[in-house]
């Protein structure tokens, strides 16, 4: 594309930068397709270990419904944004493109036939492919991270009901044998707690491994994505909101959603840690108390997602990105204004 005005330059840079994240994600997943398939298989293996029709399984389903709703809303948001971006030129009087200021090399003047028709046929498929692929990949990320979140929340429920479940189990045993004493009662309850803790530890370890695999496989994507999106937002602001009012939400949504899924995982991990404190561990025997202590130490290493290991994806990081973006915009805005004058 050619650029004879600084506003057009910023507009073209912003389009390239905000579209780059979709291209990077798409080609990364295609390039490492086998690795992604192995990751999905690890999730399937973990899910197969969940006993159906148990409270644990039902709680996972309950939280996964929320994750599914979240992924669906995200997918619809991107698709609606892309659809509005495509149809807006056709709703305005006269001939318009998705970006009137954007000039494709060799197709000047852009609004005259057959250049207009060629430009339209080039832009619309590119937008559809870019938006659809990004929406699907982001929804995929929401689901795989959301599954870990759902399991951590379900495990927290198991911990909070641990003492009550042991009492229910003991009552079932006493119906079969009425000659049990208090000493035997404590032993039976602690054996039940020991076995239940063993299952919880098994799933906790699997979730730690799944989180590590997700982090290890996609951390490069996140750091590259945030670099491109940072420059995209700055360029969109410098290009003028009157030109980028549809494009800016598309770019910001990508940053917000990455931070959202990271924040939800972080919160689920903290809830699990608090559940360990609240599981009435003081009534357990020494062996089970030591197990709880070991789990507590491991849970204090909060499960998080990061952008290349540099920053944790969370709401505080989102605010930091917004502040940094605005700071860069205000710094460059004065320079741009001087050049225009």
Rounded to an integer, the average pLDDT of 291-300 is 90
Kindly state the average pLDDT of the residues 192-219.
92
Length, in residues, of the chain: 341
Give me the pLDDT at residue 338, please: 63
**Rounded to an integer, what distance in angstroms lies between the CA atom of residue 107 and that of residue 92?**
22
Asked whether the beta carbons of 160 and 275 are under 8 A apart, the reply is: yes
Q: How confident is the model at residue 341 (pLDDT cuts 50, 70, 90)?
A: low
pLDDT at site 273: 93
Average pLDDT, the chain: 86
Task: Taking residues 87-114, report their average pLDDT.
Answer: 80
Confidence of residue 2 (pLDDT cuts 50, 70, 90): very low
Evaluate if residue 99 carries a pLDDT over 80. no
Q: Residue 93's Cα: distance from chain center in Å?
A: 40
**Do 116 and 232 contact (CB within 8 A), yes or no?**
no
**pLDDT at residue 183, as a whole number:** 64
pLDDT, average across residues 52-62? 93
Domain residue limits, the chain: 6-340
Return the pLDDT at 197. 93
Give the long-range contacts of residues 232-235, CB within 8 A, separation 24 or more. Answer: 232/13, 232/14, 232/17, 232/18, 232/20, 233/14, 233/325, 233/329, 234/325, 234/328, 234/329, 234/332, 235/10, 235/11, 235/13, 235/14, 235/17
What whole-number percentage of the chain has pLDDT above 70? Answer: 95
Higher per-residue confidence, 335 vs 163: 163
**Span 301-319, mean pLDDT?**
87
Q: Is the pLDDT at 327 greater than 90, yes or no?
A: no
Between 220 and 61, where is the model more confident?
A: 61
39, exposed or middle or buried, with CB in 10 Å at 0-12, 13-18, 19+? middle
Cβ proximity of 172 and 97 under 8 Å: no
Compute φ and ψ for 308, nearest 5 degrees.
65, 25
d(CA 124, CA 293): 58
Averaged pLDDT for residues 180-198: 83
């Amino acid at each position: 594309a050619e650029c004879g005005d600084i506003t057009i330059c910023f507009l073209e840079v912003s389009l390239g930068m905000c579209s780059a994240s979709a291209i990077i994600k798409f080609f990364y997943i295609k390039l490492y397709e086998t690795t992604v398939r192995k990751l999905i298989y690890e999730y399937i293996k973990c899910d197969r270990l969940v006993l159906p029709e148990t409270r644990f399984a039902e709680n996972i389903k309950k939280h996964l419904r929320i994750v599914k709703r979240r992924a669906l809303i995200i997918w619809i948001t991107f698709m609606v944004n892309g659809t509005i971006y495509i149809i807006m030129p056709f709703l305005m009087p006269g001939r318009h493109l998705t970006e009137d200021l954007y000039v494709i090399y060799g197709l000047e003047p852009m609004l005259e036939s057959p250049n207009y028709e060629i430009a339209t046929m080039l832009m619309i498929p590119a937008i559809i492919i870019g938006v659809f692929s990004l929406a699907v990949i982001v929804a995929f990320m929401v689901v795989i991270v959301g599954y870990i979140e759902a399991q951590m929340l379900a495990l927290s429920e198991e911990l909070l009901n641990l003492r009550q479940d042991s009492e229910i189990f003991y009552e079932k045993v006493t119906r079969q044998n009425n000659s049990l004493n208090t000493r035997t009662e404590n032993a039976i309850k602690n054996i039940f707690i020991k076995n239940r803790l063993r299952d919880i530890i098994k799933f906790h370890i699997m979730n730690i491994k799944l989180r590590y695999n997700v982090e290890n496989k996609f951390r490069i994507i996140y750091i590259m994505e945030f670099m491109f999106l940072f420059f995209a937002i700055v360029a969109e602001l410098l290009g003028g909101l009157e030109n980028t009012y549809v494009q800016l939400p598309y770019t910001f949504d990508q940053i917000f959603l990455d931070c959202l899924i990271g924040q939800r995982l972080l919160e689920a991990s903290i809830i699990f840690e608090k559940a360990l404190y609240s599981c009435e561990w003081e009534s357990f025997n020494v062996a089970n108390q030591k197990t709880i202590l070991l789990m507590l130490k491991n849970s204090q290493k909060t499960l998080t997602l990061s952008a290349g290991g540099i920053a944790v994806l969370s709401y505080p990081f989102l605010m930091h990105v917004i502040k940094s973006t605005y700071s860069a915009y205000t710094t460059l805005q004065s320079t741009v204004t001087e050049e225009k004058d």
